[in-house]
Amino acid sequence: MFDLRSRVAIITGGGGLLGYQHATVIAELGGVPILLDINAQGLADNAAKLVEETGCDAFTLQVDITELNALVAAAEQIMARYARVDILINNAARNPKVERAGDRDFSRLENFPWEQWQLDLNVGLGGAFNCAKVFGTQMARQGRGVIVNIASDLGVIAPDQRLYRVDGREAEQQPVKPVTYSVVKHGLIGLTKYLATYWCEQGVRCNALSPGGIYAGQNDVFVNKLTQLIPLGRMAASDEYRGAVAFLCSDASNYMNGANLVVDGGRSVW
C-alpha cells in the first residue's frame, strides 16, 4: 500500500527543512521527488543530501510559485522529462518572524505591514493555489493523483501568544505570532476541502497535514513554555512527519479525501 515506485512527486518549498524530509520519504518508497523552490542554494543542498541518504538523484527547479507563467514553464519541463505528475505536496510557506531587527513592534496586528500580509499570503496560499491549478489539472487529465497541503496545528487552533512574551515590556510592545501564519494555514485547510470535491470524479484526492512545532534550536525559554502545552511533553523531530506523508501520498489512504491529519503531539486536544 505504501509503494510509490515510478510515481512523480512535486514538492514545493523543496529547499527547506520539511521539503527535504518530504522528498526523503518519497525517495525511500521508490518515488521520484521533484523539488521546487525560489532558493537555489537550498535546492542544491537538499539534492546533495538526498543523494547521500537515499541514492536518489532528485530533479530540482528554481521557480517562484507566485508567478503562474514561471510555474507553467516548470510544469512543461517536468512533463517533457517524466510525462506525468502523480503527487503534489504544497509545502512552500513563509514563517514571518515574531520580531525583526530594529522593529520590535513589527508582529503586532496594529502595526503589521500590508505589504507583509500580501507577501505571506501570496506564497503560502496563492502559491498553493497556483500549484493546484497547474499540477492538479494535469492529474485530472491523467485520471489519478494526490494533493497534500502542509498546514499546521495553528491552522486548527489559535496561537498562544503567551509563548512569545518578553519580561519587562509594555503590553503594546509584546511580540506575537504574526496574523498571516494562522490565516495561511487555516486557508490551506479550506483549500483542501474545496479541491477534495472539485476533482474527485477525475480520481484526484486532496488532504491536509497539520504538523506541530519542530525543534530546530529555538531558545530554551520558548521551548520550555511550548512543551508544557503538549501532552507528549516535547516538540517534534524534523523526521517525525515522514510516516504521515507516506500515508497521505500512497494508496494506504485511498479512502481519505478532504481530511486534515493533525500530528501535533496532542497539543490541539489539551
| Tens-digit pLDDT profile for residues 94-151 | 988 888 777 778 899 999 999 999 999 999 999 999 999 999 999 999 999 999 999 9
CA dist 49 and 56 (Å) reads 9
Contact in structure between 12 and 43 (CB atoms under 8 Å): no
Domain 8-269 class in CATH: alpha beta
> How is the beta sheet containing 59-62 ordered, strand by strand?
59-62, 32-37, 8-12, 87-90, 145-150, 204-211, 260-263
pLDDT of residue 96: 81
Phi, psi of 250 (to 5 degrees): -105, 175
pLDDT of residue 232: 98
pTM: 0.96
**SS3 of 22, please?**
helix
Mapping DSSP onto H, E and C, the string for 46-62 reads HHHHHHHHHCCCCEEEE
Mean pLDDT, range 77-93, rounded to an integer: 97
Q: What is the pLDDT of residues 253-266, one digit of tens each?
A: 999 999 999 999 99
Contact in structure between 230 and 157 (CB atoms under 8 Å): no
